[in-house]
Amino acid sequence: MSDDEPKSAAEMKEIRLNRKLAQDAEGIKAMAEIAAADIAIRKRTADLRAMRLAKEAADRDKPAEPKVKRAAKKKRSI
């Protein structure tokens, strides 16, 4: 049967069903990818937060040495 011949009602129904099943499978796959990305983002955020809190705690325990300010420059008069 060539593509330009009309299809029977049963063939059209099967084509629509197969297309719907393919779309459903693609939707499930896309949702799984979104969920995996969300989990990865949450884990990375938690890791970064833990690192930041550890650094802040270390900074509190050992305060930074005060920076030495340079003497102010004299203004030149013209």
Average confidence score pLDDT of the chain: 88
- Rounded to an integer, what distance in angstroms lies between the CA atom of residue 66 and that of residue 61? 15
Whole-model pTM: value is: 0.53
Mean pLDDT of 21-50: 98
User: Residue 4 has what DSSP assignment?
Assistant: T
Quick check: 2 pLDDT over 60?
no
Helix (H) or strand (E) holding 62: none
Residue that wins the pLDDT comparison between 59 and 63:
59
